[in-house]
């Protein structure tokens, strides 16, 4: 065989190897990309308990836009009146995940529940306030002394109320806390059964619209930052780490959509929770959506635990190590830069 023929055959062989390698890489890439979506396989069924509030917006965006299904998840949204109720559904085995503020998480940990926060999806300093009737001679926070204040016991509404009172020198025992569900607060304040309520949006803005100048709102700037978090049982996280990662990827994608498409996002969220879109537009600036696990969550949980111990809202006397109740592995796997908690 001549050298020219040998060279030609070697060239052809090398060419075929290169082509084969490229095809193998393309097939591998396609397989990996499709593995996430699991075409042809049954979707993983997941029940997510949510408190039907605009602050849970990324969940509704992900559901309506089909992002959960893109990740191979068949998600059922389970509506509740509060994050506390949503978390109770998880504790009772009626849901897999819950969207919940940090206060019910703290109380659950203090009761010995084995739960994890896997991510924060929302923060705000203006989502919570006490709104009071002026005809009850309330024009300053100090005027709340001796008044009847509606509050959802065991929620961040109770923590906020206590923190605002303390900031203005009012002992908590010098107001009458009236236990109300979030839905009961509107009628209770309108009928005059209470003098004020400690609540959150959208209940807060509906009361502000109803009363107008006949009510005053106390936000307590700087004393409290609300967080909404995704919580699961520890056993679920350990058995389903891939599901946790898929949920987090979905919510990250939903937050990106919200940032890039605020008008469409408001419409989707308002329609889903049956809220007047114009009201949501007014509130939009106070909402901070983002999938994170920040040191501030740890500090918030510890501060609220000290509050609960001091006010004898728990029979425990020590602040637990909340690092044992925050699941870092999921978010570290999909977006490590979003985890700033110090171990």
pLDDT digits (tens, 9 = 90+) for 81-122: 999 999 999 999 999 999 999 999 999 999 999 999 999 999
Pick the CATH number of 44-124+229-338 from 3.40.50.300, 3.40.50.720, 3.40.190.10, 3.60.20.10: 3.40.190.10
Instruction: Indicate the pTM of the whole model.
Output: 0.85
Instruction: Read off the tokens for 63.
Output: 């559901």
25 or 250: which leads in pLDDT: 250
Q: What is the DSSP letter of 103?
A: H
- What does the alpha-carbon distance between residue 343 and residue 327 come to, in Å, rounded to a whole number? 12
- What does the alpha-carbon distance between residue 300 and residue 228 come to, in Å, rounded to a whole number? 12
- What does the alpha-carbon distance between residue 16 and residue 2 come to, in Å, rounded to a whole number? 21
Model confidence over 7-36: pLDDT tens digits? 455 445 544 545 544 444 443 434 334 445
Looking at every residue in the chain, the average pLDDT score rounds to: 91
**Percentage of the residues of the chain whose pLDDT score is greater than 70:** 88
Is 3.40.190.10 the CATH classification of the domain at 128-218?
yes
- What does the alpha-carbon distance between residue 226 and residue 215 come to, in Å, rounded to a whole number? 23
- What does the alpha-carbon distance between residue 9 and residue 14 come to, in Å, rounded to a whole number? 9
Model confidence over 283-305: pLDDT tens digits? 999 999 999 999 999 999 999 99
Query: Do 284 and 92 touch, CB atoms closer than 8 A?
Result: no
How much is the pLDDT for 39?
A: 56
- Inter-residue long-range contacts of 60-67, CB under 8 Å, 24+ positions, other chains counted: 60/268, 60/269, 60/272, 60/273, 61/254, 61/257, 61/258, 61/265, 61/268, 61/269, 62/250, 62/251, 62/253, 62/254, 63/272, 64/268, 64/272, 65/254, 65/257, 65/268, 67/250, 67/253, 67/254
- Of 22-36, 64-78, 263-277, which gets the smallest average pLDDT? 22-36
**pLDDT for 208 beyond 60:** yes
**pLDDT for 271 beyond 60:** yes
CA 252 to chain centre: 12
For the residues 178-202, what does the mean pLDDT come to?
97
Instruction: Read off the tokens for 291.
Output: 């999938």
């Amino acid at each position: 065989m001549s050298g020219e023929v040998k060279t030609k055959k070697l060239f052809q062989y090398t060419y075929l190897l290169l082509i084969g390698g490229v095809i193998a890489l393309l097939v591998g890439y396609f397989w990996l990309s499709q593995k996430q979506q699991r075409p042809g396989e049954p979707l993983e069924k997941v029940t997510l308990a949510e408190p039907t509030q605009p602050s849970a917006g990324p969940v509704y965006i992900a559901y309506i836009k089909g992002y959960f299904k893109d990740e191979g998840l068949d998600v059922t949204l389970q509506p509740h009146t509060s994050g506390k109720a949503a978390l109770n559904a998880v504790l009772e085995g009626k849901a897999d995940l819950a969207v919940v503020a940090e206060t019910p998480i703290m109380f659950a940990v203090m009761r010995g529940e084995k739960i994890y926060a896997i991510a924060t999806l929302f923060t705000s300093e203006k989502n919570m306030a006490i709104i009071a009737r002026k005809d009850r001679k309330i024009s300053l926070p100090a005027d709340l002394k001796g008044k009847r204040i509606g509050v959802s016991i065991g929620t961040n509404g109770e923590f906020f109320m206590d923190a605002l009172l303390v900031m203005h020198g009012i002992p908590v025992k010098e107001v009458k806390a009236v236990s109300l569900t979030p839905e009961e607060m509107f009628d209770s304040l309108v009928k005059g059964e209470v003098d004020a309520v400690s609540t959150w949006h959208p209940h807060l803005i509906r009361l502000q619209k109803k009363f107008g100048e006949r009510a005053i709102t106390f936000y307590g700037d700087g004393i409290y930052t609300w967080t909404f978090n995704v919580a699961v049982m520890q056993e679920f996280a350990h058995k389903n780490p891939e599901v946790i990662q898929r949920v987090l990827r979905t919510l990250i994608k939903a937050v990106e959509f919200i940032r890039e498409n605020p008008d469409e996002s408001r419409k989707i969220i308002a329609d889903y929770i049956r809220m007047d879109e114009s009201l949501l537009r007014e509130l939009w600036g106070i909402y901070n959506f983002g999938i994170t696990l920040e040191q501030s969550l740890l500090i918030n949980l510890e501060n609220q635990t000290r509050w609960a111990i001091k006010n004898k809202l728990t029979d425990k006397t020590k602040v637990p190590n909340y690092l044992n109740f925050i699941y870092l592995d999921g978010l570290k796997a999909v977006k490590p830069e979003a985890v700033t908690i110090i171990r």
